[in-house]
Structure 1
C-alpha cells in the first residue's frame, strides 16, 4: 500500500503534462504516424515489385536486400517513436521525484533528443527490446504504440496442441521473462544518465540482482490493479445505466438510454485508463528503481530539463497551449472511439443477419475431427457450413483427413499415399479422441457430400496436396459435378496453383484462397473467388476492399468470445470456429443488441 501511495505521488506532480502528452501522442499515432509507417511499407512493396504478400511469397520479399535495408530503417523509426513515449514518461516521473513541474514543450524537447540516440550503433539492441521483447511478454511496461502486438491465435492453438512445442514455448517465455526483468531498468539508465543502451543493460542487470522475484510480483500486482479498476468502472457504468433506465422505463427508452450511458461512461473510462496506463507502469518501475539505488547506496542521477527561464507571460502561453492540446486530443480520441462504436452498430445491422458459421473439421471439440460423427454434431449445433480436409489414397480415392499421416488420428504410422482406401476404411479414427467413438471410420468425400445434400448444410472442402496425387483437383471437381453440388460448396487451398487447376477443371466451382498472411492487393488473385484469412491478419480496410470487389472473406480459426465479436465488428462473412455454439450465440446477440445491454437487461429484471 505504501508503494501505491508513492506511485500516485509521482504521477500527481505532473499529471496534467502527462495526460496532455499521452493524448497528443495517441492523436499523432492515429492520425499521422501509423498511416505514415504503413505508407512507407507499401512503398517498399511497390519498389520491390510486390502488389500483395501471402505466405507463399513473403520469404523472397523479406530476403530482398532492398527490403531488408528499408525494413531495418522503418523498425528503427518505430523504435524512435516508441522511445519518445517511454522517454517522456520517465523524464516527467524523474522531475516529479525532484518536485519539479514541467510543461509540454520541455517534455517534448527532452524526449525527442533522448529518442534519436536509438540511431547510434551501440544502442541498436533497443530495436529488439522495444519492438519484440516487451510487447510479447506484456508485463505492463510497453508503450501504448506497441502494446497491441500479439501472437496470432492459430499459432498459439498449434503450439498448445503439441506437448513438446508447448514445453519449449513456455521455457522460451520464461527465459525471455528473466531477460526482461534483468533489463527492466535499462530505459531509466539510458534516459536519465545518458549512457549507451549496452551500458544501461549492464547496470540494470546489476541493480536487479536478487530483486527479480519482488520486481515481477510488483509488476503483476500493477496489472491486477488496473484490471480491478477498469472492472469497477464497468460495474459502475452498468449500475448507472440500470438506475437511469429505471427512471425512463415509462418512456419506453430503457434500452437506448442504458446502452448510450454505458457506452459513453466506458469510453471515457477506457480513455483515462489508456492515457495513464504507460505513466502508471513506469511510475511503479521508477519507485523500484529509486528504492534499489538507495538500498545499494548508488548515486541517483537525475534528468536535466534543458532549462530556460520562463516569464509569467510565456508560462501563461505554455499553459494555454497545454490546455488546448488536452482538449483537442481528448475530443479527437473520444470522437474516434465514438466513431468506432457507431461503425459497430451499423455493421451489425447490415451484415450480422447474413454472417455464417463454419464448423472447423466438423464439431471437433465434441467429436473426433473430420468424421461423420463430427459432421452430424455440427449439423445438430446449427452450423451453416462444415470445413473438412481431403487427401488422395494410393488407389486414387478422395477421402477426408487433415494430416498426411495416419499416426495422430488413427494410430497407424503410414502416409496417405501409401495405403488404398480399402485399408484406410478399416482404421479406427475415433478412439484417439475418446473410447466412446471407437470404430469411427475415415469417410470418403462422396459420402460427406451426400450427407450435406440430405441435411441442407454447405461444405468448405480444403484440398491438402502432398505431391503424390494424380489428378487430385480433377477428381474433387468430378465429385462435385456428379452431385450438382456447385452452389453448396467451396473448394479451398493454401496453395494458389491448386485453385488455378480447380478453375481449369470446372469454372462453376467457387474457390477460396486460404491465407495465414494477407497484405496488399490480394484481389488481383483472379483464381480466388473468395478469401479465407487467419483472423489476426484481418483489418477493416481489407474487409472493405474484398467486399467492394464482390468477394467474401472467411475468418479462421476464431475460438474466443473476444475474437468472435471482433470478427463480427469487422463484418466478415463467415467465421470458421471450433466452438459453433459460442459463435452462433454471439452473432445472434449482435443482431439484437450489444453485450452490455444484455447485462443491463439481466440486472434490471
Structure 2
C-alpha cells in the first residue's frame, strides 16, 4: 500500500533532506570530487579525442556551423554518435545512480561504501541497454539538462541559444513555438521526476514502465513537491550566500587593513581569493546531490517500501565489531580530528594547485561595444534611425546585415523574407534596391526605410565604424565582388570589419581584399582557433568559455560575443576578457563596463582577481 504524503509534514520532509546530507556528506563529497576529476581529466578528453578522430577520418578540418551538420550526416558522424551517445549516457547514469544510492541509504541511516554503490550502479547497465536505453539517453542528454536546467558533471546544462530564442520571439508564431517546446520539456520533466529513483531503487528496467510509475506517484501532489523543492533550494542558497558574505567581508577587511603592506597583503589576498573560489566550488559541488536527495526523499515518502530491491548492509555481529574496535580503536577515537586534518590538507593542496581549475580575470583592455543591427530602442533594426541611435549611444561599432538585391546591389536588412518588418510577403532577391527603398519598415513604435550599404557608409562616415555581416539567400550573382567594390569605392577599408556565417565567403573576401579584417561567426560546434582562417571570431554566447577565450588569445584572434543582452552576462564576458560584445543595449554595456572599472567595489575586485598564480 502506498503511503500518504499528508502523514509526513512538509517541514519534516525539508529537514530530512538536510539530515540525510549531513549523514552522507563525506561519501557524497568524496564521490563528487573523484567523479568530477575523472570527468575533467579522463572522460572529456577521451570523448574529445574520439570526436576529433572521426572528424579527421571524415576529412573535416573542423566542426562548426553547417560543417557540423554535414559531419553528423556522414557515415563517420553517425558512427561517432553511435559510440559517444552510449558512453555519455552511461557516464551520466552512473553518477546519478550512485548519488541516489547514497541518498537512499542515508535516509535509512546506513553507511555504504563508494565501491559497493558503484558496483550496484554498474549492475543496472545490462538491463538498461536491453530495455530502456533510447528513452534514458533522450532523458539524460536532452530533456533533463534542457528542460530542468541542470544535468550531470559531464553535461551540466543545455540552453536554447539566444540567437534562436531572440529571433523566435520577434514573431507571434515563433513565440508560440518556443513556448510549446519549453512546455513539452517541462511537462515531461515533471512527469518523470521519480524516474531515476524507480530505476535505481526498485530495479525497474523498462524506461516506459518507470516513466509511467513516476507519473502515477506524482498524481495530485505537484504543489507539495514544488514547495519542498523550492524551500530546500532557498535554504541552501541562503547558506551559500551567507558563506560568501562572511568570506568577502573578511577579505575586504584584510584589504583595507593591509593595503599598503604589499608583501603581507599579497600573501593574504592570494589565500583569501582562493578560499573564496574554493568555497564556491564546494558549494556548487553539492547542488546536484541536494536535488537528487530531495527527490529521493519525496519518492520514499510516496512509494511502497516493499518495492525496493536495494538491500541494506547486513549488520556486523558482536565478535566482528569487537575485533574491529580493537584494531581501529585509535582511528575511531581520533576520527573527528583526522577528518578535520584531512579536510585542511585537501583544502591547502587545492589552494596550491587552484590555477589548474582556472581563475576569472578582469580584462585590462577596453572591450568594443557593438550595437546589434543598430540601437533598436531608437529605431527599426538595420535602419538609418537605429544606426543614428547607436552613434548617440557612443557605440564603437554598429553591426549591420547585408543581402544582395535583384539588381545586384546590397541592401542593409537581416531577413530574406520581408514579411516580419514590412508586412509585405516578398523576398529581397525578387526586388530591386529602388523597390526596397519604397517599403516602410515597422518595428515596435518606430518606422524607417531600407537603405543600401553605400548609403549607410555615407551616413556613418566619421561617426561610427561598421561591422558588416554578409548574409546569403542562395540567389546571389556576384556577392563577394560587389561587396568589395562598394567598400573600396567608399574608401571604407579602415572603417569597417566584415563577418559571415559562411566560411567560404570569409575565405573569398580575405583572399580578394587582404586589407580587410574578416571574421567567422560560429553558432554551433567546436571551434578550433588554430584551424580557423579568419582575423577574428564571433561566437554565440552559450559557446563562450574561458578556455575558448584563452585559445583565441594564444592564436592572436580577437573574440566577440553575440548577442549579449543580459547584464549579468555582460559582466561575465567583460571579466573573462572578450574583445567585444554585440548587443541590443549598448548603453547598458557601457554602464556595466564603467561599473567594473570605477565602481565602489572595483578596487577590491581588481585586487582579488588580478593575481599571478
Name the TM tier (shorter chain): 0.7 to 0.9
Q: Which residue of 1 aligns with 2:567?
A: 561
2:495 paired residue number: 488
Other-structure match for 1:468 = 475
Tell me the distance in 1 between the aligned counterparts of 2:125 and 2:595: 46
Q: What's the CA shift string for 1:157-200, capped at 9, x where partnerless?
A: 22333322322322333333232222222222221232304243
Of residues 411, 416, 420, the one that matches 1:399 is 411
Q: Structure 1 residues 364 and 103, CA, compared in 2 at 3 Å: closer, same or farther?
A: same
1:34-59: per-residue Cα shift (whole Å, max 9, x none)? 22221222122122222201222222
Question: Is structure 2 residue 79 aligned with structure 1 residue 69?
Answer: yes
TM (norm. structure 2) is 0.84
Secondary structure of the residue that 1:576 maps to in structure 2? strand
CA distance in structure 1 between the aligned counterparts of 2:62 and 2:509, rounded to whole angstroms: 22
For the Cα contact (< 8 Å) 1:95–1:303, is it kept in 2?
no
Q: Name the structure 1 match of 2:50.
A: 40
- What does 1:506-521 align with in structure 2 at a 5 Å threshold? 506-521=513-528
Give 3-state SS (helix, strand or coil) of 2:403's partner. strand
Tell me which moved more, 176-185 or 238-247: 238-247
Q: Give the 3-state SS of the residue equivalent to 1:490 in structure 2.
A: strand
1:46-445 to 2 correspondences below 5 Å: 46-114=56-124, 118-138=128-148, 142-198=151-207, 199-245=209-255, 247-248=257-258, 263-264=273-274, 266-293=276-303, 299-305=307-313, 312=324, 313=327, 342=359, 344-345=360-361, 348-349=363-364, 352-353=365-366, 355-429=367-441, 431-434=442-445, 437-438=446-447, 440-445=448-453
Secondary structure of the structure 2 residue equivalent to 1:507: coil
Structure 2 CA distance for partners of 1:178 and 1:27, relative to 1, 3 Å = same
* Structure 1 residue 587 corresponds to structure 2 residue 600: no
- Assess if the C-alpha contact under 8 Å between 2:165 and 2:178 holds in 1: no
> 1:61 Cα deviation (Å)?
0.9
Q: Is the 8 A contact 2:395 2:586 kept in 1?
A: yes
Question: For 2:143 and 2:340, how far apart are their aligned partners in 1?
Answer: 35
**1:241–1:600 contact (8 Å) kept in structure 2:** no
Pairwise CA distance, 1:129: 1.4
CA distance in 1, matches of 2:36, 2:65: 32
Contact 1:514 1:531 in 2 (8 A): yes
Could you list the per-position Cα deviations for residues 99-130 of structure 1 after superposition, in whole angstroms to 9, with x for gaps in the alignment?
21233343343344445654444444221111
CA–CA distance in structure 2, aligned partners of residues 541 and 382 of structure 1: 31
Deviations 1:5-63 (A, max 9, x none): 11122222222222221222222222222222212221221222222012222222112
Q: Show the counterpart of 2:461.
A: 453
- Provide the rounded CA distance (Å) in 2 between the counterparts of 1:209 and 1:335: 51
Looking at structure 2, the residues matched to 280 and 471 of structure 1 have their Cα atoms a distance apart, in angstroms, of 59
Question: What CA distance in whole angstroms lies between the structure 1 residues aligned with 2:348 and 2:159?
Answer: 29
Alpha carbons of structure 1 residues 60 and 396: separation in structure 2 relative to 1, 3 Å = closer
**Distance of 1:337 and 1:576 partners within structure 2:** 32
What is the CA–CA distance in structure 2 between the aligned matches of 1:357 and 1:206, rounded to whole Å?
Answer: 52
Q: Where in structure 1 are there 5+ consecutive unaligned residues?
A: none
Please state how far the C-alpha of 1:245 moved relative to its aligned partner. 4.9
**CA distance in structure 2 between the partners assigned to 1:330 and 1:197 by the alignment:** 43
- For the Cα contact (< 8 Å) 1:458–1:489, is it kept in 2? yes
TM-score, normalised on structure 1? 0.85
Instruction: Say whether the 8 Å CA contact 2:258–2:265 is kept in structure 1.
Output: no
Cα distance in 2 between the residues matched to 1:281 and 1:315: 36
Q: What SS is found at the alignment partner of 2:379?
A: coil
Task: Give 1:254 deviation, angstroms.
Answer: 13
2:24 is the alignment partner of 1:17: no
- Per the TM alignment, residue 593 of structure 1 is displaced from its structure 2 partner at its CA by 7.9
Query: What's the counterpart of residue 8 of structure 2?
Result: none
Mean Cα deviation higher: 268-277 or 457-466? 268-277
- 1:459 is paired with a residue whose SS is strand
CA offset digits 1:325-373 (Å, max 9, x no partner): 967765666566555564x33x623xx33x2121111112332211122
Whether the 8 Å contact between 2:541 and 2:564 is mirrored in structure 1 is: yes
CA contact (8 A) 2:107 2:297 kept: no
SS for the counterpart of 1:474 is helix
Q: Which residue of 1 aligns with 2:7?
A: none
2:383/2:449 contact within 8 Å kept: yes
Cα distance in 2 for partners of 1:254, 1:484 equals: 56
Which moved further from structure 2: 548-557 or 250-259?
250-259
Contact 2:13 2:228 in 1 (8 A): no
Q: Distance in 2 between matches of 1:366 and 1:340?
A: 43
Deviates more, 1:501-510 or 1:488-497: 501-510
For residues 201 and 260 of structure 1, the distance between their equivalents in structure 2, rounded to whole angstroms, comes to 49
Q: CA deviation at 1:257?
A: 9.8
Distance in 2, matches of 1:340 and 1:72, equals 31
How many residue pairs match? The answer is 587
